[in-house]
Amino acid sequence: MSIPASDTASPDPVASDLVSARALPSEGSEPSQIRSSDCVSLDLGNRQPLDPGVFLPRNDWLAVFRPLALIVAVIPLVLLGVSRTLVPDSDGLGTHQQLGLPPCSMRVVMGVRCPACGMTTSWAYFTRGEWRASIESNAGGFMLAILALLVCPVVLRCIWRSVYPSQAQQNWLLFALLAVLAVTIVDWSVRVFG
């Protein structure tokens, strides 16, 4: 059995590799009688297969993933540590001004607190174990502080094991972030319109 020239001649190098990797029957054999000795193996050389959904070889992917994951793990801990050094404002918002930041623009211009007003105060109370005051300052801030503590061990485990977070972990994180956003918006709406 012969293969037509149109199937074997290809100017595309990828297509040529595919054609050379195809099982070619021996002369006189039927396609259903192909033996393993009739097959040509495809040599990938020193190229490594890609991780699913990632456009970098595994070693390059880890070189990018590990530093980014470390940043994701460390930033919330640093923010919680900085929050611990702040004295919570008795009004329940404005604690961030101790860091030299300006007052909330929405509050200055429109006279209404923004959804993030009270987050720094909430974190300052959270780090002192005053969780009721943390929730009263900003319920979304309280939930975000809990999420920050929960995400760090998961990310550090991924760095240690050189694995990407599982789909279940990614879904959980997305759900948790959406829950924090929803609670923040509801809390803000109740304070402003309620």
pTM, entire model: 0.65
pLDDT at 67: 86
Alpha carbon 150 to its chain's center: 14
Q: Tell me the average pLDDT across 47-74.
A: 66
Residue 129 has pLDDT above 80, yes or no: yes
Task: Tell me the CA end-to-end span of the chain in Å, nearest whole number.
Answer: 83
Q: pLDDT for 142-152, tens place per residue?
A: 999 999 999 99
DSSP secondary structure of 125-170? HHHTT-HHHHHHH-HHHHHHHHHHHHHHHHHHHHHHHT-PPPHHHH
Residue 46 has pLDDT above 60, yes or no: no
Q: Tell me the average pLDDT across 120-132.
A: 95
pLDDT at 148: 93
Per the structure block, which two tokens stand in for 89?
């404002």
pLDDT at 39: 45
Residue 122 has pLDDT above 90, yes or no: yes
Q: d(Cα 86, Cα 82) in Å, to the nearest integer?
A: 7
Residue 40 has pLDDT above 80, yes or no: no
Confidence of residue 59 (pLDDT cuts 50, 70, 90): low
Q: d(Cα 164, Cα 170) in Å, to the nearest integer?
A: 10
Q: d(Cα 46, Cα 104) in Å, to the nearest integer?
A: 56
